Amino acid sequence: MPTALGAKAVPSDVAPRNDEGRRARFAGVLSDHAGYARARPVGRPGCTSFVPSIAGCSLARSAAKQNRLAERSGLVPCWRALSQNRRESTSLTQITVLVLGAFDLFHRGHVEFLKTARSLGDRLVVAVNSDSKVARYKRMPVIAAEDRLAIVAAVRYVDHAEITDAFSVASLIEKHDVDIVVHGDDWTAERYLGQIQLTAEQLKILGVRLKLVPYYRGVSTTAIIREIETAA
């Protein structure tokens, strides 16, 4: 069972959401990935990605949430979005940001990345890649997944953290009602979409935005490992 830390309880005065419409939009994605037999070591040069079909999915997001996204993008006056937001429940207007990563040998670059990602929304969900997943596209991590999860969950910018073994983010987007997926700009958008097994058009249909943020160039896990090996 995947492990999760940092989940926060929903206030009792917030009415339950009807997520049937949103779940319907993901039916095609989830059914395709449930029977996904052509899994590949994504992220490697020369690999072709399997693209699940989500044709026909409809977008049924609340007007208040769209206003929040537009407000953060500078597309509508702040006062208009705030006015409409006050008439909606927090659960409908909350902007959820999703990031995925190994977070091995946790360092300053990881902190800055999570801080930036959190600033783009109201709630930050972090999916920590499992040991086997990291080994498939990078190398075997130095620190075990459960320990990396505990470290990430302790960061104040993180609202929820869990371990993921899947490359596709479709189920995570549905589970956490994600609005923005964030990654460092050391990857191109096209390459990262291949990694998470979605296309730009599919993200658009689902109402999710991919945001690449500046990569912190002062330190990296690879550089730390190299320095340790050199010192030894």
CATH code (residue 166): 3.40.50.620
Tens digits of per-residue pLDDT, 55-101? 434 344 555 566 666 666 654 444 334 334 433 445 568 999 999 99
Q: Let me know: does 213 contact 155? Beta carbons within 8 Å.
A: no
- Domain membership flag for residue 213: yes
pLDDT bucket at 184, cuts 50 / 70 / 90: very high
Range of the domain at 174: 18-60+95-231
In the numeric block, which tokens belong to residue 160?
């929820």
- Domain membership flag for residue 146: yes
Q: Let me know: does 118 contact 156? Beta carbons within 8 Å.
A: no
Query: How many domains does the chain fold into?
Result: 1
Alpha-carbon gap, residue 180 to 195, rounded angstroms? 16
Comparing CA positions, the residue from 129, 133, 142, 139 lying closest to residue 42 is 133
Alpha-carbon gap, residue 32 to 151, rounded angstroms? 33
- pTM score, whole prediction: 0.67
- Domain membership flag for residue 34: yes
